[in-house]
Amino acid sequence: MGLISYGEAVGLLSAFIWAVNSLIIRTQSFNVPPTLMNAIRCAVAALFFWCLLPFNANLSDYARVTPYEWACLMSSVTIGVVVGDTLYLWSIREIGVARTMALVGTTPITTLAFEKLLLGLEVSSTFVLGCFLAASGVFCLAGKPKQTHPDTTINLKRGVLLSLSAALLWGLSTTLLKPAIANLTAVQANSIRMPFVAGLTFLTWRLRSDGMGLQQLGKKALIIVAFTGLLGMGVGSLFYLTTIGLVGPSKTATLTAATPVFALIMSILFLKEKITLRLLLGVLLCASGVYMVL
């Protein structure tokens, strides 16, 4: 028997993919509006899942999905991807990858909180301790950095609020996904989720774009953003939903909380973000809090 199960390995792989994806997104965060970026990424992911759909199952399988499961699926995708992912993209733009990924790494705690609230599960002492450690990590990460790059404007309060709001929404979204995919495979679920998000976010962008057209964004930026859709929203999301089906929502959220650790290491190696002792302490406290609620 291996050290980790197949489901856990898939969850960690998803976390690594999302960490790589976040670094790529950062390079375009000031070139493409977050709402449009989300729309492009989900549109590419939708094509990815539609290509996989004929090899996955019969279309008649959708008939087995109950109205309640459809409601959970649509609610989950609206809360987690339409709103949550957009807030996450804004946060990366405001405060960078390492700080954002550490803050949204508290998602396992919000996931467990919603599971306990909606499913009536007991709250253990380790859960309370984990929340305290994670809150301490958030406090450290919310501190004003001593040095910032002269060409980068950091709106810390806004970025922290955006990150924590995304974590809250992702927790609720993850909880709703468990009943939503009871009669669907990961490919089938995403073949519905991604085009729905792409259409909704694109419409939102058009209503707020002030006449700005896609041609003004640049071909290079569009290609890079499209690739992040294939990698993160496509492959990463496929692994994420597969993990939920194998090990459940809260453990999936905890496994994917390894993302900020991967992101921190890669941001040190590849980006110019300033890594401070306070930032490292914040990441450690958040990770410890997540571990306590596992």
The model's pLDDT over 32-60, given as tens digits with 9 standing for 90+, comes to 888 888 899 999 999 999 999 888 767 77
Instruction: Confirm whether 51 is domain-assigned.
Output: yes
- Flag whether 113 is in a domain: yes
For residue range 75-106, what is the model confidence (pLDDT) as tens digits?
998 899 889 988 988 998 888 887 887 788 77
Write out the H or E segment, with its range, that includes residue 89. Answer: helix 86-95
Kindly tell me if the per-residue pLDDT of 120 is higher than 60: yes
Mean pLDDT of 15-34: 86
Q: pLDDT tens digits, residue range 211-255? A: 555 666 778 888 999 999 999 989 998 898 888 888 887 777 777
User: pLDDT tens digits, residue range 56-66?
Assistant: 767 777 888 89
Question: What does the pLDDT read at residue 229?
Answer: 93
Q: According to the model, what pLDDT value does residue 147 have?
A: 47
Residue range 164-213, pLDDT digits in tens: 999 999 989 988 887 888 888 888 888 888 898 899 888 888 877 655 55
Rounded-to-integer distance, Cα 89 and Cα 92, Å: 5
Measured in residues, the chain has a length of 294
The candidate with the shortest Cα–Cα distance to 28, out of 213, 198, 208, 224, is: 224
In a domain, 182, yes or no: yes
Q: What's the mean pLDDT when you consider all of the chain? A: 81
Phi-psi region of 248 (alpha: psi -120 to 50; beta: other; left: phi over 0): left
- Does residue 196 lie within any of the structural domains? yes
Residue 85 domain boundaries: 6-292
For 143, which DSSP code?
A: S
Query: What pLDDT is attached to residue 128?
Result: 73
How many domains, the chain?
1
1 in a structural domain:
no
Q: Residue 3: count other Cβ atoms within 10 Å of its Cβ.
A: 6
**122-168 tens-digit pLDDT:** 667 777 787 778 767 767 766 655 544 444 455 788 888 999 999 99
Report whether 103 contacts 286 (CB < 8 A): yes
Number of H helices, E strands in the chain: 14, 0
pTM of the model: 0.74
Average pLDDT over residues 106-128: 76
More confident residue, 153 or 278: 278
Nearest to 46 by CA among 289, 248, 229: 229
Q: What pLDDT does 71 receive?
A: 92
What single-letter DSSP state applies at residue 272?
-
The pLDDT assigned to 148 comes to: 45
- pLDDT-based confidence at residue 260 (cuts at 50, 70, 90): confident
CB-based contacts of 28, cutoff 8 Å, min separation 6 = 37, 221, 224, 225, 228
Quote the Cα angle for 188-201-107, to 5°. 70
Structure-token pair, residue 3: 């050290």
| 28 confidence band (pLDDT: 50, 70, 90) | confident
Residue 235 lies in a domain: yes
CA end-to-end span of the chain, whole Å?
21
245 inside domain:
yes
Q: Tell me, yes or no, whether 64 lies in a domain.
A: yes
pLDDT at position 89 = 87
